[in-house]
Every structure is written in structure tokens, then in C-alpha cells.
Structure 1
């Protein structure tokens, strides 16, 4: 191993150890929900609720006037806030590559490790937990997930202090139906 490679490996191992020891603490700053097709879904509520000085929760609900059966696509990408803004608007930049999933296939075998991690974050707080078809659901919801729940589940993931967002897009028949963006700050590592 070259000296530079050894130094980089040591640095990454050090960051990982610090994160393991201290954990990551996040605070939700916002959530936005947008329905692109009101015949498929309608935003019922979408909010961050304060539960104390350092504790808050996210809840959102999309009512589904007609059930979605199959061909459900999900795209997500973790973003970080750039240091510069353009015309006073924050410049969000990809932190990790974007990922596209066939949700019906994913729920059958949970084949994608990163997607599995994302869905484990909302486990117990959502009705997004079964394979296709989604024929009986009248809504899709995430309710009562707290920043402390998420912080404990992402312990050991090397995130530096700063502002982040998880941009998600749901589609059926390759047409975008819903956009949901979760914004949060990493306050300590």
C-alpha cells in the first residue's frame, strides 16, 4: 500500500471510528410534498412537527383516489447544500448517486442494500412495507418518525455537519406522480 493510500485509509477509518463513537444527530428542517397527478394521489398533509428543542418528527400522507397496482418506480438521491447560492436560492448538489428502483421487484427480495437502508429508516412508521399490488390502500403515509429515531438508525454512517436533503420521486407507468423532499441538518458527529 502506498504512503498516500495508507494515509487516506487511516483518515477514512478515523472518521468512521469517530462517527461510531459519537453517532450522527440530525434535525429535520423541512419536508415538501407535491402530487403531479391528482387522479393518482392528493397531498393530505406534509409537515415537520416540533416535539421539543432538539426533537421533531415528520408526517406526510398522500391519499390515493384509485389504487396503484404495479409498475411502481422509486427514485431517490441524497443531496447536500452547496456553499454558494445562485440568485439567493440554495444550490443542492448530489452527495451520492441517484438510484432507481422497481418497487414491486424490491419488495419481493429487497435486492438493493442502499434502498433497504432507506426503507428501514421508516420501518414501523409507514404502510410502504409490502409487495405489489397496492390494490387496497387508500393512502400512502409516513407518520410520527422522529429525528431521534433516524439518528439512532444512521449511527456509523459518515456524514459531516451540514445541510442535506433526500429527494424522492414516485412514478407509475414511467410517469412521475409524486415528488417528496426531506430536508435535514446534521448537527453533530
Structure 2
């Protein structure tokens, strides 16, 4: 394990000791989807649906116009908001995590990246991103009906104080960014 990973692990353990969180409840605030290469992917839908006062869900689907064969990278960055305006890029700052992930390699060994493992556990059973590379026969990539209540159960005990957060993601193939998807949420009761 590298020194950066040891430092991050130490920081996380220290934060967990400082902030005793028995239950974290999040509420999704928004999801944005953008295809930056319309020759490869298009956005079919990207939506946040309110189910009740305390329950909502996210669903999105990108139509694949070309197969994803190799060199698939995902960039994940967990952010926190500095001011009240939720979608202004300059109001967000990094919150502990930033990961560049070789997706095909990750699928072979899920244990080499904690943030990626957590994110993919959130969408487990809600996505067709569940097999190894290449993606040659898929007509779309989707994440459907992920509820805030499910995610809240899965992050139980993760040290996140009340506030506004975002998970910024970029998918790339052949070193070209193909999609940008951002998930906005609020921790309402640690």
C-alpha cells in the first residue's frame, strides 16, 4: 500500500473517531448528464424523481452509438459545496477523494479502490455495468431507480458531516472524455 493510501486511510480513521456517525441520511438534490462526444453516446434520460417527502431516486441512461472496447477510464471526485448556489462549478471544492480508475482493471479486482468500490455498491442491481470489458453488445449504459434510502443504508458509519455534496464523474475511452455525470446530494442528519 502506497504512502498516499496509508495517509488517506489514517485520515479516514481519524475522522471516523472524531465524528461518531451511527446513521447518515442523504437526500438527492439533482443529477446532470452530458454527452461530450455525440458520435459515441447520447443522453436518453437523466432524472431525479421524488417518491415521497423523504424518498427520491435517480435514473439515467446513455445510448451507446459505438462499443466501448478498451482503455475505459472513470474519473470520480467527491466534492463539497462552498456556498448556496448548487450547480455553479466554482462553488465546489474537493472533499477527501479524487480517483482516476482503469475501469476494465477495476472489474477484475474490486478491492483496489475504496471510493470506486463504494460507488459501484450503490448501483449494484440497478445498472448494466456488471460485467467485464469490452462492452460490445450493449445498446445503452444505465443506472435505474437508485434511491436515497438505499444509499443511506450503505453509507452507514461513513464520516460525512451535514452539508451539500456532489460526486463528479467523467467516463473516457481512448483518452477522450465521452460523458460527464454529476450527482448532487445533501447529508441531512448525521
Q: Over aligned residues, Cα RMSD in angstroms? A: 1.9
Contact 2:97 2:115 in 1 (8 A): no
| Superposed counterparts of 1:108-187, under 5 Å | 108-110=108-110, 111-187=112-188
**1:11 Cα shift?**
7.8
Q: Is 2:10 the partner of 1:15?
A: no
Q: Is 2:189 the partner of 1:188?
A: yes
Q: 1:35 to 1:10 in 2, by over 3 A?
A: closer
**1:80 Cα shift?**
0.3
Q: Deviations over 1:74-98 (max 9, x none)?
A: 000000001476xx87610000231
Q: 1:52 to 1:25 in 2, by over 3 A?
A: same
What secondary structure does 2:76 align onto? strand
Q: Which residue of 2 aligns with 1:80?
A: 80
Could you tell me how far apart the structure 1 residues matched to 2:188 and 2:89 are?
Answer: 22
Q: 1:152 to 1:70 in 2, by over 3 A?
A: same
Could you tell me how far apart the structure 2 residues matched to 1:79 and 1:11 are?
Answer: 17
**1:109 Cα shift?**
1.2
Q: 1:37 to 1:156 in 2, by over 3 A?
A: same
Contact 1:30 1:183 in 2 (8 A): yes
| Superposed counterparts of 1:96-115, under 5 Å | 96-110=96-110, 111-115=112-116
What secondary structure does 1:151 align onto? helix
Q: Which has the larger radius of gyration?
A: 1
Q: Which residue of 2 aligns with 1:56?
A: 56
Q: 1:10 to 1:136 in 2, by over 3 A?
A: closer
Structure 1 stretches of 5 or more lacking a match?
A: 1-8
Q: 1:42 to 1:159 in 2, by over 3 A?
A: same
List, as ranges, runs of 4+ consecutive aligned residues in structure 1 with deviation greater than 4 Å.
9-12
Question: How high is the TM-score relative to the length of structure 2?
Answer: 0.87
Q: Deviations over 1:79-120 (max 9, x none)?
A: 0001476xx876100002311011011101112222111111
Q: 1:91 to 1:15 in 2, by over 3 A?
A: same
